[in-house]
Amino acid sequence: MSKKEMHQRGWDTLDIIIVTGDAYVDHPSFGAALIGRLLEARGFRVGIIAQPAHDKPEEFKKLGKPELFFAATAGNMDSMVSNYTPSLKPRKRDMYSPGGTPGMRPDRATIVYSNRIHQTYPDAPIVIAGVEASLRRLAQYDFQSGKVRKSILADAPADLLIYGMGETQTEEIARRLQAGEDIKQIKDIPGTVWKTPVKTWKEELKGMDYIELESYTTVSEEKEAFARNYKNLWQQQNPGNGKILVQPHPKTIIVQNPPTKLLETQKLDEVYELPYTRQKHPAYKEDIPAIEPVRFSLTTHRGCFGACSFCAIAHHQGRMVNSRSIESLLREAKSLTKMKDFKGNINGVGGPTANMYSMECSRWKDKGVCTDKFCLYPEVCPSMNTDHSKNMELLNRLEQIPGVKKVFITYGVRYDLALTQPEYLEMICKKHVSGRLAVAPEHYSKKVTDSMRKPDRDVFEKFVEMYSAINKKLGKEQYLQTYLMSGHPGCGLKEMIETAEYIRDNKLYSEQVQDFTPTPMTASTCMYHTGIDPFTGENIEVATSRRDKKIQRTILHYRDKRNRKYILEALKTADRMDLVGNSWKCLVSGKSGMWESKKK
């Protein structure tokens, strides 16, 4: 991170400099650290400029000019999501900054960093990557501005964009630049996006198998076109057989190459076993809050075949699960026991979903993911191997490592998958739940769960019944931590009240309620912007005003006295005043009404 550290290694210059919006923590959960360690293992000299003050040009000069390229990333989160709440207020805390201090990364950080790098070193190649670049690689709806924005590559003075998990692409770009290639001629790497002049693109792509998406101008003006484009994009996110996508922009043509193939297990193992210190960089005096939940956790796999509408994992990590070997995970766990502040507890084992480890579909190897149906919606596909045996073996073997006292599952469990193998659920209830198990039914109205591509309520009820019976058998008092969402497309007042009644009747009240926030490249965001379900083409109800979204959220927080005004307004509008007791001074009560008077 400094010239002094370069000289301590005997380096006068660097090959690659990573500019990131996160503080530098040397842990595989931080993208800049993971890519930096991999490049270092391949013999490249790597530096990191973390959270530079973007209005100070000298910040971008402190490590000099790299021999090969700059890599710019907003960090582990999209900068607009990181900087603003769902109600578009500036966040008071940034988990990826020292001491949680907000304001350490600029809005639209990837564009800002690219501009500053280009101003400082006009001839230096620039590659942009990370979640922000990946999910804004084509024209996308931007919640903060309320409009469709151009591809981030059209706005940033960068040469290449890496989308998805970027190890393979970054390594190949580095090798080819080291061999003397011009970055402007590197246009064939899967998992990358490049741009080309409007006048010459058809000649450049002549003979290639590509799909021309509707232009930025068209999708920014026509919501139906935006929805069609989204479905087209979804269908081509298939490693191995996805096609090139081309989207015309006013001054440039954006070309997305097909997704890169998943890392082989051996390579994935190698990436996670690089010599990370799992510590913040010594330059920081304050702690980085984001490290604490993951410091002593193990990432078992990538990808998620759940494909929930509100989640962007399908477009970043992919819908196919890519798992590490048990032996690799055991080696990593043993390394944790040697850390001086390890207390004996591994506090997380999993990935985007804890119990998808080692699962795969019989079609993936030859055909990739299905483009016309979902793996888990409306029910678990019979082609999907839902065997939890390898997962169970891993948990058992982790427990046997000297120095390990407890192995907990703090990542969310997909309950429809857990239902397919009760012995897995019994095992984790017995040993691996620390009082509460996290699950995400998200909603209890079928209309809404259908728009989310989530299981129906009856599936959740079966899981609750099984979970309760198992804990009763074990003599344990353990609970479910249920995550819910308000304001999702497809949800109106009727559906929110239905969910609130269900929560009341089943004693499932939870403070864990997320207000739906449109984020780039999710199906739900497409629905929010267009009012169209991109998979069915049907119109869908959407709450878009801040007041409507706030009212929906308050309905699920019905115990909070501060919400009475909004709740009463909602009940009046929905003609559900039967849920109010005999007085406006309401308290939570039993099934005779959601709210009843103090006197009664």
The tens digit of pLDDT for each residue in 171-194 reads 999 999 999 999 999 999 999 999
The one-letter amino acid at 402: P
List pLDDT tens digits, range 461-506. Answer: 999 999 999 999 999 999 999 999 999 999 999 999 999 999 999 9
pLDDT value for 54: 87
Nearest to 355 by CA among 293, 401, 430, 301: 301
**Taking 50 as the threshold, does the pLDDT of residue 428 lie above it?**
yes
Q: Tell me the pLDDT band of 561, cut-offs 50, 70 and 90.
A: confident
381 is annotated as contributing to ligand binding:
no
Taking the domains of the chain in order of start, what are their residue ranges? 3-257
Cβ(96)–Cβ(76) below 8 Å: yes
Q: Tell me the pLDDT band of 149, cut-offs 50, 70 and 90.
A: very high
Mean pLDDT of 153-179: 97
Considering all CA atoms of the chain, what is the largest pairwise distance in Å, rounded to the nearest integer? 82
Mean pLDDT of 542-546: 92
Q: Report DSSP state, residue 84.
A: B
Rg (alpha carbons) of the chain, rounded to whole number: 25
Q: Which of 69-73, 436-440, 447-451 has the lowest mean pLDDT?
A: 436-440
Cβ(571)–Cβ(563) below 8 Å: no
Give the DSSP per-residue string, 198-262. TTTHHHHTTTS-EEEPPPHHHHHH-HHHHHHHHHHHHHT--TTTPPEEEEE-SS-EEEEPPPPPP
Position with higher pLDDT, 445 vs 371 = 445
491 is annotated as contributing to ligand binding:
no
Sign of the torsion formed by the C-alpha atoms of 97, 98, 104 and 110:
negative
pLDDT value for 583: 52
**Taking 80 as the threshold, does the pLDDT of residue 152 lie above it?**
yes
Q: Which of 6-15, 180-189, 456-465, 502-511 has the lowest mean pLDDT?
A: 502-511
List pLDDT tens digits, range 566-600. Answer: 898 999 999 998 888 665 444 444 444 554 444 33
Give the DSSP per-residue string, 16-50. EEEEESS--B-STTSHHHHHHHHHHHTT--EEEEE
Nearest to 226 by CA among 531, 441, 3: 531
The one-letter amino acid at 500: A
Distance CA 66, CA 14 (A): 5
Distance CA 162, CA 130 (A): 8
Mean pLDDT of 328-354: 95
- 3-state SS, 538-580, equals CECCCCCCHHHHHHHHHHHCCCCHHHHHHHHHHHHHCCCHHHC
Q: Tell me the pLDDT band of 230, cut-offs 50, 70 and 90.
A: very high
The one-letter amino acid at 520: P
Position with higher pLDDT, 289 vs 367 = 289
Exposure letters 138-148 (e unless 16+ CB within 10 A, then b): bbbbbbbeeeb
Distance CA 233, CA 214 (A): 11
Nearest to 211 by CA among 179, 243, 235, 174: 243
What mean pLDDT is reported for the chain? 93
**β-sheet bridge partners, residue 423:** none
Distance CA 212, CA 232 (A): 10
* Number of neighbours of residue 292 by Cβ within 10 angstroms: 11
Distance CA 59, CA 47 (A): 13
308 is annotated as contributing to ligand binding:
yes
